[in-house]
Amino acid sequence: MKFNNRNVVLGANVRLGKNVRIGDNTTIYDNVEIGDNTIIANDSVIGEPQHAYYFQGGYSNPATVIGANSFVRSHAIIYAGSTFGDNLNTGHRVTIREGAEFGTNCLISTLADIQGNATFGDYCRLYSNVHICEFSKLGNHVFIYPYTIFTNDSRPPSNHYMGPTVGDYTIIAVHSVVLPGVTIGSNCLIGANSVVSRDIPDFSFAVGSPAKVTRDIREIGSREKEGAQYPWMYNFERGMPWQGIGFDAWSQQQH
Amino acid sequence: MKFNNRNVVLGANVRLGKNVRIGDNTTIYDNVEIGDNTIIANDSVIGEPQHAYYFQGGYSNPATVIGANSFVRSHAIIYAGSTFGDNLNTGHRVTIREGAEFGTNCLISTLADIQGNATFGDYCRLYSNVHICEFSKLGNHVFIYPYTIFTNDSRPPSNHYMGPTVGDYTIIAVHSVVLPGVTIGSNCLIGANSVVSRDIPDFSFAVGSPAKVTRDIREIGSREKEGAQYPWMYNFERGMPWQGIGFDAWSQQQH
Amino acid sequence: MKFNNRNVVLGANVRLGKNVRIGDNTTIYDNVEIGDNTIIANDSVIGEPQHAYYFQGGYSNPATVIGANSFVRSHAIIYAGSTFGDNLNTGHRVTIREGAEFGTNCLISTLADIQGNATFGDYCRLYSNVHICEFSKLGNHVFIYPYTIFTNDSRPPSNHYMGPTVGDYTIIAVHSVVLPGVTIGSNCLIGANSVVSRDIPDFSFAVGSPAKVTRDIREIGSREKEGAQYPWMYNFERGMPWQGIGFDAWSQQQH
């Protein structure tokens, strides 16, 4: 139903891997590389030209790379100069500016707004309407829930930007704000509607505005079994690289 | 200006009622049924194929039904397998996943993000950028104001989902979060920027993070007349089925 | 790459200035006027017909004016009956309803949702996903950060609307809510995730839910130099009319 090559436009030097499918009404601009078996659904724009395209002569579109086995749902806008590892999965209407570097196996959900010039590890999940500012650094397996915002200007408006940093395996619940320059450690859980204004140490559960550490995540019980829910990697494996073998076995393979 | 049949594509087994108008650049996929006098504006996608379409052979698009006298504004994405009663009214850029069941006379505003597998009664109003998670259940005449989020995973990430439930005539103000499994009764009012973490009894005004019941809604004064504003059905009738006859008269007709 | 006149449609009485560029897949409806050197990028809708177009005979599209040297990024929806001064700059996927009046040099970022019938001075900046309700009045140089919401119905749902008012040079940080009828003075700073429920006097820093004035903005130190950060006009000039000459010199020119 979607891949009829209707109103599809490919720019110069677009390199498509094997079995790539491009949806109708999609435009792919110059210098985009898309890996094998990837789907770019309909009504999308890939390799969106940067600001200089409109105003400077001699503009050449920077390279955009989307890895193999990816699935970009409809109405995406992905700028030139961003890169995505294999197995990218997006919702609808994502907007991703230039200079975003994503690892493998990332999820970027519907209406997510990635401001660019930010780095993301592997297996990150950015849910609906998440807003990530420039200069953010996310580790691996970081999950950010809907409508959470990262900010980088502590004296708005200023010229002094400091993006937040988030460690591996950390979870940030819905409607939270991470303030400029804050470092959230690894294995943290931030509660819904929090404002994280200070650094948060590893393994903390923090909540509130401003967010305060109220306990160790390992004290939070599961709703599915006896014992603790966190670290969550022992209780959740869907889509994770330890699926079927368990987190400890997978971790040992990494060393 | 909008209905020139330009770049309009209809799939197989699309059944259009009398006087249906389809805007330019709109795609309607297989097995969609649209009632009489309905408008689907431009740049929309109706009957969006589900995930299996991309990856499984023999996929058949589930039925999508949009009732009569509806008005879907531009840039909608409505998945196959959702149903809408008569007199649906949407803003722009709504995204509605599969398995959403809406009653009649619902409003779904600009940028609303309905995750699917959720039920909505009649005369619900979901304003701009409302995000409703899977397994939510809303009664009749429930109004959800902008940027409010429903959530279903109390130990994220887990495999244990519990959607919120909201009773008839309840109003939830802007920027609120309803936590997993919470039941908000009927005739409640939830204040702006609240986090609803526990069940709320009927006729409560609750506010804060976490939301606490501070009074009975019948104690809240009107800004337009002497006396109480709530239950609001005695003070607001625009677009409601009791328009012109009053709430009590209408209620008696229902029995 | 973008200006190939592919699937571009212009309505009746569309007046384009010199050197206007219109992106592919863009529709401009009747009675739109666009100033010299302006760019309307791809996949946009300018002069979107109002509600009456669908249901009333003899509809004539109200005039829409976009000033010179403007840059409207892709996927905009701008309704007929809104006006924008010169040097407008938008992000992607803005939605702007009828009756919005913008001064010159305004920024309206990605996914901003402007409900119309509101006024904005010069040099306003509305960042990502800002939601401005009807009957709002913003002065000059007002900066509203992501996901902040303006509201106008204090007893929802009612028929009594009162939009917020914001004075010149005021800054509202992310994820805040401004409640109906509130007046925020000039030179204020509202902290992240605040709910502004009462009037705020000039030069106040207010934060919290409900927002309370905690100090004078002139007591807030800079991160870039010795001394105070606010009023910010002495520390930030990028894109402002005092760029290169300083705020005091520019101010004196205005008198």
Q: What is the CATH number of the domain that holds A64?
A: 2.160.10.10
In a domain? residue C2: no
> CB neighbours (10 Å) of residue C57?
5
Q: ipTM greater than 0.85, yes or no? A: yes
Whether C63 contacts C80, CB under 8 Å: yes
What pLDDT shows up at residue C223?
86
In a domain? residue C42: yes
User: Do A193 and A247 fall into the same domain?
Assistant: no
pLDDT tens sequence across A168-220: 999 999 999 999 999 999 999 999 999 999 999 999 999 999 999 999 999 99
* Partner-chain residue, chosen from C25, C193, C223, that has the shortest CB–CB distance to A158: C223
Identify the band that residue C11 occupies on the pLDDT scale cut at 50, 70 and 90.
very high
User: Do A252 and A207 fall into the same domain?
Assistant: no
* Partner-chain residue, chosen from A75, A193, A223, that has the shortest CB–CB distance to B177: A193
In a domain? residue B247: yes
Tell me the nearest-neighbour CA distance from C224 into chain A, angstroms: 7
Cβ–Cβ below 8 Å for C128 and A113: yes
CA atoms within 13 A on the CB side of C43: 26
Integer Cα distance of A201 and A184 in angstroms? 7
Cβ–Cβ below 8 Å for B224 and C7: no
What pLDDT shows up at residue A224?
84
A225 pLDDT higher than 90: no
- Report chain C's mean pLDDT, rounded to a whole number: 97
Residue A241: domain span: 228-255
C→A contacts (Cβ < 8 Å), by residue, are 1-2, 6-7, 24-25, 39, 42-43, 71, 74-75, 91-93, 110-111, 125, 128-129, 143, 145-147, 171, 173-175, 189, 192-193, 208-209, 220, 222-224, 229-230, 232, 235-236, 238
* Total domains, chain C: 1
User: Do A179 and A209 fall into the same domain?
Assistant: yes
User: Do A100 and A137 fall into the same domain?
Assistant: yes
Percent of chain C with pLDDT over 70: 100
- Report chain B's mean pLDDT, rounded to a whole number: 97
Tens-digit pLDDT profile for chain B (255 aa)? 999 999 999 999 999 999 999 999 999 999 999 999 999 999 999 999 999 999 999 999 999 999 999 999 999 999 999 999 999 999 999 999 999 999 999 999 999 999 999 999 999 999 999 999 999 999 999 999 999 999 999 999 999 999 999 999 999 999 999 999 999 999 999 999 999 999 999 999 999 999 999 999 999 998 888 999 999 999 999 999 999 999 999 999 987
Identify the band that residue A136 occupies on the pLDDT scale cut at 50, 70 and 90.
very high
Cβ–Cβ below 8 Å for B158 and A6: no
* Partner-chain residue, chosen from C147, C209, C235, that has the shortest CB–CB distance to A147: C147
* Partner-chain residue, chosen from A25, A48, A149, that has the shortest CB–CB distance to C175: A149
What pLDDT shows up at residue A247?
97
Cβ–Cβ below 8 Å for C173 and A155: no
In a domain? residue B1: no
Which residues of chain A make contact with C2, given a CB cutoff of 8 A? 49, 53
Which residues of chain B make contact with A69, given a CB cutoff of 8 A? none
What pLDDT shows up at residue A69?
98
User: Do A182 and A101 fall into the same domain?
Assistant: yes
Residue identified by tokens 């979901």 is B126
Tell me the nearest-neighbour CA distance from C202 into chain B, angstroms: 24
User: Do A149 and A253 fall into the same domain?
Assistant: no
A223 pLDDT higher than 90: no
pLDDT tens sequence across B32-49: 999 999 999 999 999 999
Cis, peptide link before residue C156, omega less than 30° from 0: no
Cβ–Cβ below 8 Å for A171 and B156: yes
Cβ–Cβ below 8 Å for A146 and B149: yes
What pLDDT shows up at residue B255?
76
Cβ–Cβ below 8 Å for B236 and C157: yes
Reference B37, options B21, B53, B54, B22; nearest CA is B21
- Count residue pairs from A and B with Cβ separation < 8 A: 100
In a domain? residue B4: no
Which residues of chain B make contact with A147, given a CB cutoff of 8 A? 131, 147, 149
Which residues of chain C make contact with B193, given a CB cutoff of 8 A? 177, 193, 195, 209
What pLDDT shows up at residue A127?
98
pLDDT tens sequence across C80-102: 999 999 999 999 999 999 999 99
Integer Cα distance of A177 and C207 in angstroms? 14
- Count residue pairs from B and C with Cβ separation < 8 A: 100
In a domain? residue B56: yes
Torsion sign across C-alpha atoms C195, C199, C202, C203? negative
What pLDDT shows up at residue B224?
84
Beta bridge partners of C113: C95, C131
Burial class (CB in 10 A: 0-12, 13-18, 19+), B220: middle
C212 pLDDT higher than 90: yes
User: Do A92 and A104 fall into the same domain?
Assistant: yes
**What number is the average pLDDT over the span C17-40?**
98
In a domain? residue A111: yes
User: Do A149 and A251 fall into the same domain?
Assistant: no
In a domain? residue B3: no
C255 pLDDT higher than 90: no
* Partner-chain residue, chosen from A11, A111, A115, that has the shortest CB–CB distance to C1: A11
